[in-house]
Amino acid sequence: MNIAIIPARGGSKRIPRKNIKEFHGKPMIAYSIEAALESNCFDKVIVSTDDSEIAEIAIKYGAEVPFMRPDNIADDYATTLDVIKHAIEFTEQQGWGVENVCCIYATAPFLTPEFIKKGLQELTKSTIDYAFSATSFPFPIQRAIRLNAQERVEMLQPEHLNTRSQDLEEAYHDAGQFYWGTAIAFLNGNPFFSPQSKAILLPRKRVQDIDTPEDWELAEALYKALQ
């Protein structure tokens, strides 16, 4: 059995009620639920939440909410892995026989069924623990700068001061949309960023973190531009 788990707690601080805030006419979480359902990869699409309003909206858009998340993994210190482990342990108690799990974030309006399918294909054809969304940095990270205590500029890697951009290795980062993994890997707490993972590369135009009000505005503008 393959299941999707969408973590969606109610206590978002920087963007209040972020997971169900309206985004281009629908609650934000609706986009993740619909992408999961349209991928046809899952026997069940589950939302893990501690919030009754989020649960109601999740069910409205086709997800299941078979349990309410306990308080000890619903605060600011609970990790995504804590939430996924709890959900998998619930499925074991129900005897569902889950083999593969996909954690999908509730704030992923640019996620498409196509990339969810690619993740499952990579996970099942390779002997890996995880397959997750990633994208490339738009600028060479080796040329990054920082500000010191006097607010003066320093290079993070000064050895690349005069290296041509085209001679630098391309780098990638987690796109924060989905994480396919075997149930065993999640339960064992195996790390995502290791040789036992594969990256499903997304175009940069389909990736936008949504953690601050400014991020939200950028996401709305980008989504509109893509339509």
7 in any annotated domain: yes
35 in any annotated domain: yes
Dihedral Cα 71, 47, 29, 110, nearest 10 deg: 120
CA distance 169 to 86: 39
Structure tokens, 44 = 């069940």
pLDDT at position 11 is 84
Count Cα neighbours of 41 within 13 Å in the Cβ-side half-sphere.
Answer: 28
43 in any annotated domain: yes
pLDDT at position 14 is 87
Predicted confidence band of residue 219 (pLDDT cuts 50, 70, 90): very high
Mean pLDDT confidence for 96-121: 98
163 in any annotated domain: no
147 in any annotated domain: no
Count of structural domains, the chain: 1
Residues of the domain holding 127: 2-135+172-220
Predicted confidence band of residue 6 (pLDDT cuts 50, 70, 90): very high
CA distance 210 to 227: 19
Mean pLDDT, all residues of the chain: 96
CA distance 102 to 41: 10
Mean pLDDT confidence for 159-185: 96
91 in any annotated domain: yes
Mean pLDDT confidence for 4-16: 92
158 in any annotated domain: no
Dihedral Cα 213, 215, 218, 220, nearest 10 deg: -70
Q: Residue 179's domain is classified under what CATH number?
A: 3.90.550.10
pTM: 0.95
CA distance 17 to 47: 15
